[in-house]
Structure 1
């Protein structure tokens, strides 16, 4: 799933966090200067204003697009944008004081000082962060991984154009040349990683978020290449100079690296949808991490007494578009579980080893007491073992709702169309989990459900899945 204008918006999210930190710091500093010390949170008026300022910040960001083009703005334009942003937040905060009739209880000096300090600090912080992003672009570091697919005649111009105008901050993972055997060489410092015969396979096995396609081929040939990537759930940006696209996927016209492109993907989200989903994830992540701390004090000793060793289990998983990360769980299995898995593969209920499911898994802590018994089965049935993943959610590696991340040994067996389920961030819960995961043994059905989730995604769908998850957990079915 492609987050429309999301590459820039992810950078905007960084700026938003920096701005909120500057705003809160400015409020505290203004209070300290005016009062000579003390704690502003002892007063209900100042305590309320602290949070109202943050709400005003989010409101202005959402409805006034004050961060639009922030990366490209020069020093003067950034200065005027900061002034506009500060005036809007100050105006909304003043309106709140008037409407609630609490302006007399609030120091005007603190109010003005907050605005002045905020303008200075956020301007300095934005300038510094843009300098950091510019250095990252130069060094080829970015949040979104881009594969360039082109021909030898177009290649040098395409690479030069994309690298010199990389405002979106892509990590350019490599180049695929469709009409030459140049694999192993480099073009302007970027490695050639594939040719026409293996570029799809390469993209299936490596971290590739998006593909930039610029080819002098006939429409039919370009379409075949494009569809290979779209089948895997990878967003494709097709330079319109090479012709039009007939794809049935969601499309939009955009600018990337100076090129006008038609972007195609399984689905597209707006920046407001993306921000709302991330805000939900952050709130859930904070609450979930707090619950994890409390649960650790309860189930941690129970796990250790029955199976001495680490309380938490960390396993490398495959995340969005092939990016690897460590996923955390409460350990519900004995220490030798991974070694014993090979012996138990013949009892796997899912064909081809694309997932692992079996009845009465003997590797679960306490399972020797009988089917469904023991601390391991208890925390799995109640989904308590999943709570440490809220840390992955808070870090942005996972989402509250998404698709379950495969292990590396499962992922290497994927066909191209299986990769489509990696087009979104993995989730703690998801469509196939609430669709009777214990009864689904056909991996193709899992892929169908996950692809359907991606194609029809909305905040409303996430909420419905969460409600079904809560219902399943309380019924003792376990759905994460």
Structure 2
């Protein structure tokens, strides 16, 4: 699911933090230059002003969208934008002093010096940081970009994206549509698939977005585009030649020097993204605190019943195929993974794309008695009450997961996916989700899981997340009450 992160201020937290640091440095230096001392934070009036200015800066960037197209602005446009940001912050600061009637206690000269230094530091820092991003040395938050083009156009497209990248994309590979060049390299980028193999590659690898650029004299690879639509991946189509696309959200933006029409399963505004991330951070912090409390009681029981690590980590597939480690309280015996193969014939999901058992003997304390009676133990209690899920709040804080999303599959399960199954990987995985609270948590038809996950992605709103969270709490409490 594409969420227009490239232009929203949510994506540019690096610029926000740098700007706020510049403001605080300017505030401190102004205090020193005026000769008022060495620690402005000892004075209540100045300490309050330092806090107010930071909130004013944050509110200005957020409410007025001051970071819109920040990576695409030239020096002159950046100069104007920075000056506007400083002016609004200054006006808010003056308004605060007037309302609180603290103007007489705060040096006007110090305030003026603060704004001048803030402008100089902010402007130079923004220009410098954009140079760092353009160098490609800061790719921590890059999106994985697959380029689909022709042999003749490939070198030009790669160089165009790289020269106008600003740290937004990590080019994962090329797909050449008019010739099979798999295994070769163009402009330092590997050709990883042809038109026929590309959809399955997208399905099984970490690919966030696809850029499709073909010359004006060549037809668009419409068959490939239709298959890519099934995967749920975000696509950017060069505006000079627009192919027919499915009825999905569409908007115009720029990648490199190309003006493209972007299509995706859904669209979320920067404010909606901010709401979701803030909710994740708040929920993650509360969840991690609860995890510590639960650990005190659960850890000894787990260790006594099955000596070994209290926590269990496992590689899972996250948003758009990116791998990460998921954390849980261990509810199974140490040899659980080794025994999985022998239990596959009992899997309730016949196609192997998920793994569910009616009674799992690998769970700590689970036994089948001589008379055929099935006995459950502490592991089953941990799973039924969802206590094993609590360490995943750490994954939420890290940003690998969200509170609400789709459940993250195993790499082996993803390798069995058909193209349209990949759509459920279009968002961050979640601790809970639509199909878990739909009354069908014991679902055994994987196609139904995909349908519900895709429905969630297409219909996503902050209100839907809140609704699912409330239903999750109700469902978990209902399970505990029935025990």
- 2:467 corresponds in structure 1 to 464
- 1:446 corresponds in structure 2 to 449
Aligned partners of 2:423 and 2:270: how far apart in 1?
22
Note if contact 1:232-1:417 (Cα within 8 Å) is conserved in structure 2: yes
Once the two structures are superposed, the pairs formed by residues 172-187 of structure 1 within 5 Å of their partners are: 172-187=171-186
- 1:19 corresponds in structure 2 to 19
- 2:70 corresponds in structure 1 to 70
Per the normalisation by structure 2, the TM-score is 0.86
- 1:455 corresponds in structure 2 to 458
Aligned partners of 2:139 and 2:37: how far apart in 1?
47
- 2:92 corresponds in structure 1 to 92
Change (3 A) 1:389 1:141: closer
- 2:319 corresponds in structure 1 to 320
Aligned partners of 1:294 and 1:86: how far apart in 2?
45
Query: Structure 1, residues 42-101: CA drift from partner, whole Å, max 9, x if none?
Result: 97x8887676555434422222111122223455654553343233234335434544x4
Deviation at 1:196, TM superposition (A): 1.8
Aligned partners of 2:65 and 2:413: how far apart in 1?
42
| 1:232 lines up with 2:236 in the alignment | no
Change (3 A) 1:223 1:106: farther
- 2:407 corresponds in structure 1 to 404
- 1:285 corresponds in structure 2 to 284
| 1:359 lines up with 2:358 in the alignment | yes
Change (3 A) 1:245 1:5: farther
Deviation at 1:231, TM superposition (A): 0.4
| 1:382 lines up with 2:385 in the alignment | yes
Once the two structures are superposed, the pairs formed by residues 195-274 of structure 1 within 5 Å of their partners are: 195-215=194-214, 222-274=221-273
Where do 5+ consecutive residues of structure 1 fail to align?
none
Note if contact 1:237-1:263 (Cα within 8 Å) is conserved in structure 2: yes
Segment of structure 1 superposing worse, 252-261 or 127-136 = 127-136
Change (3 A) 1:337 1:196: same
Q: Which has the larger radius of gyration?
A: 2
Change (3 A) 1:331 1:220: same
Query: In proportion to residue count, which structure has more helix?
Result: 1
Aligned partners of 2:68 and 2:408: how far apart in 1?
33
Segment of structure 1 superposing worse, 268-277 or 86-95 = 86-95
1:431 is paired with a residue whose SS is: coil
1:425 is paired with a residue whose SS is: coil
Aligned partners of 2:340 and 2:117: how far apart in 1?
59
Deviation at 1:331, TM superposition (A): 1.5
- 1:154 corresponds in structure 2 to 153
Note if contact 1:6-1:271 (Cα within 8 Å) is conserved in structure 2: no
Query: Structure 1, residues 98-120: CA drift from partner, whole Å, max 9, x if none?
Result: 44x46379755886776566556
Aligned partners of 2:26 and 2:476: how far apart in 1?
44
Deviation at 1:372, TM superposition (A): 8.0
Q: 1:394 aligns with which of 384, 393, 397?
A: 397
Deviation at 1:399, TM superposition (A): 1.2
1:353 is paired with a residue whose SS is: coil
Change (3 A) 1:361 1:70: same
Where do 5+ consecutive residues of structure 2 fail to align?
none
Note if contact 1:7-1:169 (Cα within 8 Å) is conserved in structure 2: no
Change (3 A) 1:102 1:327: farther
How many residues matched?
474
Change (3 A) 1:351 1:77: same
Aligned partners of 2:295 and 2:282: how far apart in 1?
20
Deviation at 1:473, TM superposition (A): 1.9
Change (3 A) 1:173 1:377: same
2:178 is paired with a residue whose SS is: coil
Note if contact 1:232-1:420 (Cα within 8 Å) is conserved in structure 2: yes
Once the two structures are superposed, the pairs formed by residues 423-434 of structure 1 within 5 Å of their partners are: 423-434=426-437
Aligned partners of 1:299 and 1:52: how far apart in 2?
44
2:210 is paired with a residue whose SS is: strand
- 2:479 corresponds in structure 1 to 476
Segment of structure 1 superposing worse, 332-341 or 51-60 = 51-60
Aligned partners of 2:374 and 2:97: how far apart in 1?
61
Once the two structures are superposed, the pairs formed by residues 110-149 of structure 1 within 5 Å of their partners are: 119=119, 122-123=122-123, 125-136=125-136, 143-149=142-148
